[in-house]
């Protein structure tokens, strides 16, 4: 065992280790290089950002989890490792997390409901949560889509915080004969997801926090619509009617619109440009 490096006495290192189960073809004798590279990228991400993974977390890769592969798996989910329990070492606690390759619509389903609950509903179709680059979306199975629908209706969404890189707020402006409304801006890539999260959070009396590097927007249920502004912070109260209207109008399409249920607010959706590791635009949403 290596010497303890972290200052936290309760955890060894970052407190977790990742596992990754893959489908193996008959001719494969060694773990594929792309999987090793992916695990190394996860380690670099944790080391550079200080953010740690936990059961129930997810990560959008914004492209195939295996670079250059013809696969629908473009994101990752993290869940409790079924065969390796938590261990206590002289250096502290270590838990094991299984990394699972997922599709874009599965990621959205997990955000709209609950990561571990969704994976549990998929267990019969995806035993062992084995990552198979060639598989189709699990949402093609009617039993899973029905479980998702019932779960969202019963539990709402477990996603309280959502990172939106194209997030902006423009305060209302006084004009000569009128007042321009405040403007909430977000990217087309996140607009559809935010619409679902609004219903899954606010209609269940739970807040939804949208956050970017420079701004935090807290959306909460309120009897009357309104907002309060602070430094790099906005709190928006939405009535049930406003939640319903906004969740219908928010779509992954560039444009702007006013709400009939919230006279002082305009919502703007901008195009999202997906870039590869070299910074080249590989896809445009909106």
**Helix, strand, or coil here: 182?**
strand
pLDDT of residue 1: 47
Largest CA distance in the chain: 74
Predicted TM-score (pTM) of the model is 0.81
Residues 6-39: b if buried by 16+ CB within 10 A, e if exposed: eeeeebbbbbbebebbeeeeeeeeeeeebbeebe
Lowest mean pLDDT among 88-92, 146-150, 206-210: 88-92
* Rg of the chain in Å (alpha carbons): 21
Q: Can you state the angle between helices 240-249 and 188-202, rounded to 10 degrees?
A: 150
| The CATH homologous superfamily of the domain defined by 161-274 | Sufu, C-terminal domain (3.30.1360.230)
Domain chopping of the chain, boundaries: 11-155, 161-274
pLDDT of residue 63: 86
pLDDT of residue 62: 84
Per-residue confidence band for 130, with pLDDT thresholds at 50, 70 and 90: very high
Please report where in the chains the tokens 């109008």 appear, as a residue.
249
pLDDT of residue 236: 94
pLDDT of residue 11: 64
């Amino acid at each position: 065992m290596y010497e303890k490096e972290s200052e936290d006495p309760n955890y060894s290192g970052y407190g977790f280790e990742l596992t990754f189960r893959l489908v193996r073809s008959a001719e494969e004798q060694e773990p594929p290089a792309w999987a090793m590279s992916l695990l190394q990228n996860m380690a670099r991400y944790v080391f550079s950002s200080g953010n740690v993974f936990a059961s129930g977390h997810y990560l959008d890769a914004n492209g195939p989890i295996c670079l250059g592969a013809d696969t629908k798996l473009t994101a990752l989910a993290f869940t409790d490792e079924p065969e390796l329990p938590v261990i206590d070492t002289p250096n502290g606690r270590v838990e094991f997390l299984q990394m699972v390759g997922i599709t874009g619509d599965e990621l959205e389903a997990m955000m709209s409901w609950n990561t571990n609950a969704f994976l549990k509903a998929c267990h019969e179709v995806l035993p062992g949560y084995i990552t198979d680059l060639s598989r189709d979306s699990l949402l093609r199975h009617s039993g899973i889509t029905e479980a998702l629908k019932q779960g969202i209706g019963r539990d709402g969404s477990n996603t309280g915080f959502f990172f939106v890189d194209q997030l902006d707020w423009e305060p209302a402006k006084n004009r000569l004969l009128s007042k321009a409304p405040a403007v909430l801006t977000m990217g087309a890539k996140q607009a559809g997801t935010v619409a679902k999260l609004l219903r899954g959070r606010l209609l269940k009396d739970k807040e939804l926090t949208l956050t970017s590097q420079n701004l935090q927007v807290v959306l909460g249920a309120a009897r009357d619509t309104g907002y309060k502004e602070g430094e790099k912070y906005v709190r928006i109260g939405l009535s049930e009617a406003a939640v319903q209207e906004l969740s219908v109008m928010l779509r992954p399409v560039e444009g702007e619109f006013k709400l009939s249920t919230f006279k002082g607010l305009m919502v703007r959706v901008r195009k999202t440009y997906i870039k590869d590791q070299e910074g080249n635009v590989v896809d445009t949403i909106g």
